[in-house]
Amino acid sequence: MRLSLRTKTITGVASITAALLFVLIVTIFQFLNELVDSSVKKSANTSAALFVSTTKNAFLSYDLSSLDADVSEILTNPNIAYVRVKDKNDRVFVEKGDAAALNATFKQDTSASHTDDGIYDTQAPIQVNGTLYGYVEMGLNIASVTQSVSRVKNWTLTLAMLEFVLVGLLSYLLGSYLMGQLQSLLKGAKHLGEAVKDNNYRDIFVEVRGKDELSELAGAFNHLVERLKEESGQRQRVEDELKELNALLEEKVKDRTAKLNQKNFQLEEANKDLKEAQMQLLQAEKMASVGQLAAGVAHEINNPVGFVSSNISTLNDYVATYQMLFAQMNSVINAEDDAARIKAIAEVEQSIKTKDLAFINEDIGDLLNDSSEGLYRVADIVKGLKLFSRVDSDDVQLHNINDCIRTTLAMVNNQLKYICTVETNLGNVPAVAMNVGKISQVITNLLINAGQAVESTGKHGKVTISSIRVDEFVELRVEDTGCGVPQSHLDKLFNPFFTTKPEGEGTGLGLSISFGIAQEHGGSLSVSSKEGEGSCFTLTLPIPKDDDNDSCTIDSKGS
């Protein structure tokens, strides 16, 4: 459907005016309602509070005659519809006023605009030193206020409609004037289009009437025609020049495209080299963290490997003994006569006495059990190293924090066992969503810091690791009997590069990184410390909301 400019002008102006009037009316009505509600509520609360202060002594002393007199006095105010005084058990002491309002069920009003009976109901407590003794229920007659608000709203609507009609009329007159001026311009524009096609610019000028913007537009249109006549002659010359420039441009584009392809190839190679450098840097950073534990882990691995190697050497000797006995038994079986058989049996008996086979049989089981325990110990340490080396991974999985504690203790045990006693109190906690490598890094950092704090005292101290469920969180606590942290340093302890260690012994990044890891997991890392007595670091991790069953919990016995 095609609409004329006049229709669009009228419609547009009328729509904008209607929208503005609607917003204005809604704003006025809302302001009136809020003003009335505020005034009525304030008046009701003030009247009820004043009446409570006036009648409190008479109410508490059960002076019903004074109460009745006070109620009668306040009802002389034409704005008070009714008053009711009752104790906290809803026993009515005095009630007077509008019978219909008194017979209706009391419901405290919150807005004057929502009252349907013309009475604003309010209530005030009668209390002394915080003890409630009764209530005063009061109704304010707001019918006159409501009628005044209605008259204001009606006048507002009437004025808005009158303004809307006037705006529509003016829009019609303006649209008619614009249409008359634009029709002539439209006719000239059509002629101009035909002139451009035929390259003939005669007899297409428009008449200039008046001295307004439209007349200026008509003059500009005529000037444009003059310019087009001039440009038409130049256009042909320019087109010829453009053809020559296009041919030259195509050659330059081909040359630039070849150079751009070469630059893109160089950029891809540079990006590839950069990614390889980033991977090498990440690997170096990861190995540097593992290197802090290398000496202790090597010692922890060498101990079981040493006695496993010794056990294997002893088992080799036992195997040689059994091989010798097997060869002698084979001689007994293959003997050609009784004399040779008796001689071979004698050699077997002599070997059994010499080699003490009873001890060998008993010792073989112990050697195998000890070797298995040693290999399991090495496997636990390697497992912990694998978890720790995955710190650069973003994988998150449900995992029990007690398992992280055990594997981390296996790695740092050699660094702690000579300077402190390690005590674990692992509770029955559910699995939480975590990046196992990053949480293992946090636990490692806390345990190493605790050991260094104990070592700095020069005494054999104690480090206690405990886990417990607190509401919807799992808490890991690492407590030590070390030197503690001064109160002035506690608020800076998790800042990057802040350290209390001597220069060259710490980077100040360990606790800062651990704090960031805790926040990544939606948890927190906090500390409490007393200088000279020790510190307690608490790692808090949230329990998944859909994981409230026992299937995600693991029983762990403290030691």
CA nearest to 413, candidates 425, 403, 421, 401? 421
Round to whole Å and give the CA distance between 369 and 225: 108
Q: Which band of pLDDT confidence, cut at 50, 70 and 90, is reported for residue 116?
A: confident
Residue ending a domain, among 269, 291, 313, is 291
Lowest mean pLDDT among 46-50, 307-311, 389-393: 389-393
Judge if 360 and 248 occupy the same domain: no
- Domain ends where: 291, 321, 356? 291
For the domain that residue 145 is a member of, what is the CATH number? 3.30.450.20
pLDDT level of residue 538 (50, 70, 90 thresholds)? very high
Buried b (16+ CB within 10 A) or exposed e, 323-353: eebeebeebbeeeeeeeeeeebeebbeebee
Domain check: are 151 and 285 in the same one?
Answer: no
Q: How far apart are the C-alpha atoms of 96 and 19, rounded to whole Å?
A: 49
pLDDT number for residue 309: 74
Q: 92, 80 in Cβ contact below 8 A?
A: no
Both 286 and 299 in one domain: the answer is no
Q: At residue 65, what are phi and psi to the nearest 5 degrees?
A: -65, -40
For residue 474, pLDDT over 90 is answered with yes
Confirm whether 172 is domain-assigned: no
Share of the chain above pLDDT 70, in %: 74
Question: Are 416 and 514 contained in the same domain?
Answer: yes
pLDDT digits (tens, 9 = 90+) for 213-244: 666 676 776 777 777 767 766 776 787 788 88
Pairing outcome for strands 131-141 and 119-128? antiparallel
Domain boundary among 128, 162, 196: 162
Give yes or no for a contact between 160 and 24, defined as CB atoms under 8 angstroms apart. yes
Q: Residue 465 — very low, low, confident or very high, per pLDDT cuts 50/70/90? A: very high
Q: Are residues 282 and 314 in the same domain?
A: no
| Domain that residue 20 falls in | 5-162
Q: For residue 25, tell me if it sits in a domain.
A: yes
Residue 390 lies in a domain: no
Chain segment 240-287, per-residue pLDDT in tens: 788 888 888 888 888 888 888 888 888 888 888 876 754 454 444 445
Residues contacting 362, CB < 8 A, separation 6+: none
Of residues 557 and 229, more confidence is placed in: 229
Q: How many domains does the chain have?
A: 4
- Looking at the fold, whether 420 and 524 belong to one and the same domain comes out as yes
pLDDT on residue 391: 47
Residue 193 resides in a domain = no
Task: List, for residues 356-414, the tens digit of each pLDDT value.
Answer: 677 777 777 767 776 776 676 667 666 656 655 554 556 788 989 998 888 888 777 77
Does residue 179 lie in a domain region?
A: no
Instruction: Share the mean pLDDT of the chain.
Output: 77
421's tokens? 């006693």
Question: Both 407 and 335 in a single domain?
Answer: no
Q: Does 452 fall in a domain? A: yes
Q: Does the predicted model carry a pTM greater than 0.75?
A: no
Please tell me whether residues 11 and 158 are part of one structural domain.
Answer: yes
Q: Beta strands 131-141 and 534-542: pairing type? A: unpaired
Whether 414 is covered by a domain: the verdict is yes
Regarding whether 109 and 20 lie in a shared domain, the answer is yes
Distance CA(143)–CA(146), nearest Å, equals: 5
Give the pLDDT mean for 487-494. 79
38 and 154 assigned to the same domain: yes
Same domain, 99 and 145: yes
Over residues 53-68, mean pLDDT: 84
Answer whether residue 16 is part of any domain: yes
Statement to judge: residues 468 and 326 lie in one domain: no
